[in-house]
Amino acid sequence: MGLITEKLPLYLDPVPGSSWFLGKLDEVINWSRANSLWPLTFGTSCCAIEVMMAAGASRHDVARFGAEVARPSPRQADLLVVAGTIVKRMAPRLRTLYEQMAEPRYVIATGSCVISGGPFIYHSYSTLRGLDGVVPVDVYVPGCPPRPEAYFYGILTLQKLIKEGETVRRPGERRKPVLAALPAGMTVDQIQEEMRSLLVTEKNSGDRRNG
């Protein structure tokens, strides 16, 4: 499938109406990818039980969204769902699993611990402060823990990304949908500096208490 779609633009671009044909082919391919996600669940802590197991149970039923076929092997999966705290010793193993997954592959970061380190961001030398430093993340599902409904919204967002993002002419390039924006006059650097100052203040106050 990959070889065919990579050569199609080369042969069809000189033909009148090729843009229409390739555009429709994009819609069909992305529609099939979005509605047949095979997740590889990487559950390391509480979110794996509170979100992933609850989402697969009969009350919520993730099968309604076409993403219930959880695979035990990364070679049979195209969606990596990371749920639970990731420590630094686990990061290389996680990267290996990601590289063994089939292309195109996607990642959902579930829970505060995966996104930013959660409560372990303070005075913890072993916890990874953000999954995006190990693998590229497509969708973030915040919460501690997130509700199963939040996880479903993350799946719907990923399906929207897949349907709108990748094209036959540029395989591998995905346009991520913008769901939120920063307030006017605020930049990412300002947010990071504020977080850094809070961490320094917390560390100094802890040192004074212990000293």
pLDDT digits (tens, 9 = 90+) for 152-179: 888 888 888 888 777 666 666 666 665 5
Do residues 151 and 207 share a domain? no
The string of DSSP codes covering 37-72 is: --EEEEE-SHHIIIIIIHHHSTTT-GGGGT-----S
Asked if residue 121 is part of any domain, the answer here is yes
Question: Residue 22 corresponds to which amino acid?
Answer: L
% of the chain with per-residue pLDDT over 70? 76
Do residues 193 and 136 share a domain? no
| Residue 182: band (very low, low, confident or very high) from pLDDT cuts 50, 70, 90 | low
Total domain count for the chain? 2
Do residues 160 and 193 share a domain? no
Range of the domain at 208: 182-211
What is the arithmetic mean of pLDDT over 198-207? 77
- Lowest mean pLDDT of 18-22, 151-155, 204-208, name the range: 18-22
Asked if residue 177 is part of any domain, the answer here is no
Please report where in the chains the tokens 């391919």 appear, as a residue. Answer: 29
Do residues 30 and 100 share a domain? yes
Residue 83 sits in a domain whose CATH number is 3.40.50.12280
Do residues 112 and 155 share a domain? yes
Do residues 43 and 106 share a domain? yes
Coil, helix or strand at residue 25:
helix
Nearest to 78 by CA among 13, 166, 198: 166
Do residues 110 and 186 share a domain? no
The pLDDT of residue 2 is above 60: no
Do residues 6 and 79 share a domain? yes
Neighbours of 211 (CB within 10 A): 5
Asked if residue 175 is part of any domain, the answer here is no
User: What is the C-alpha to C-alpha distance for residues 204 and 59, in angstroms, rounded to an integer?
Assistant: 47
| Termini Cα distance of the chain | 64
Q: Do the Cβ atoms of 83 and 57 come closer than 8 Å? A: no
Do residues 53 and 153 share a domain? yes
Asked if residue 172 is part of any domain, the answer here is no
Coil, helix or strand at residue 80:
strand
Average pLDDT of the chain?
A: 76
* C-alpha dist (Å) from residue 57 to 52, 64, 112, 120, 183: 9, 12, 23, 29, 38
Nearest to 161 by CA among 192, 183, 140, 130: 140
- The token pair at 131 is 């999954």
Asked if residue 176 is part of any domain, the answer here is no
DSSP 3-state helix, strand, coil percentages of the chain (rounded to 5)? 50, 10, 40
Do residues 189 and 91 share a domain? no
- Lowest mean pLDDT of 14-23, 109-118, 189-198, name the range: 14-23
Asked if residue 115 is part of any domain, the answer here is yes
Residue 90, C-beta contacts closer than 8 angstroms, at least 6 positions apart: 44, 128
- What pLDDT, in 10s, does the model give residues 79-108? 888 888 888 888 888 889 898 888 888 888
User: What is the C-alpha to C-alpha distance for residues 140 and 129, in angstroms, rounded to an integer?
Assistant: 14
